[in-house]
Amino acid sequence: MQAFAELLDRLVLTPSRNGKLRLIVSYFRSAPDPDRGYALGALTGDLDLKSIKPAAIRELVTDRMDPELFRLSYDYVGDMAETVSLVWPGERRANRPPPLAEIVEALDGVTRPEAQRLVANWLDGLDPTGRWALLKLITGGLRIGVSA
């Protein structure tokens, strides 16, 4: 997930088409299977992932921090995934960030409460860039300036 998160972060910040293509080619050369396939599906909009509603994400974060502080932060930042990724109060664990494939496969067929528990655990183990990418992926808001 960390390599995919870095790819998304760099794609958002890269204005040129050729620059974006170089980043994508570099990622696909180094990413292992099945992460490579899931990343391609995510980038093209073909990854059918059980999405988590923004309200569920809001509930997760307001269980861990003052709801008013979150509301003010969200008002200022304006993007749910970006706000949560920056204010998430989880403890960084020594755990390795989960591979993209692990996230996609774990969300397949789980109940909504179980999905929320998984997401909270992943958010705890990721840095802000990883949290942002995870939230964009699972909420279906992956708009990064790349078209299929």
Q: What is the pLDDT of residues 134-144, one digit of tens each?
A: 999 998 777 77
58 and 40 within one domain: no
Domain assignment present for 60: yes
The two structure tokens encoding residue 52: 């988590």
118 and 78 within one domain: yes
Do 118 and 107 meet the contact criterion of CB atoms below 8 Å apart?
yes
96 and 34 within one domain: no
87 and 129 within one domain: yes
Report the number of distinct structural domains present in the chain: 2
Q: HSE-up of 67 (CA within 13 Å, CB side)?
A: 6
134 and 87 within one domain: yes
Domain assignment present for 109: yes
Domain assignment present for 49: no
What is this structure's pTM? Answer: 0.90
98 and 67 within one domain: yes
39 and 58 within one domain: no
pLDDT in tens, 41-97: 999 888 888 778 889 999 999 999 999 999 999 999 999 999 999 999 876 665 678
70 and 27 within one domain: no
29 and 102 within one domain: no
Domain assignment present for 144: no
Helices (H) and strands (E) in the chain, counts: 9, 0
In terms of phi and psi (left: phi > 0; alpha: psi -120 to 50; beta: otherwise), the region of 97 is beta
The predicted pLDDT at position 89 comes to 87
Phi, psi at 9, each rounded to 5°: -60, -45
The predicted pLDDT at position 94 comes to 58
The predicted pLDDT at position 143 comes to 73
117 and 76 within one domain: yes
**Dist. CA 126–CA 90, nearest whole Å:** 9
94 and 38 within one domain: no
**Dist. CA 21–CA 77, nearest whole Å:** 29
Domain assignment present for 146: no
Supply the range of the domain harboring residue 11.
2-44
128 and 62 within one domain: yes
pLDDT in tens, 94-140: 567 889 999 999 998 898 889 999 999 999 989 999 999 999 999 87
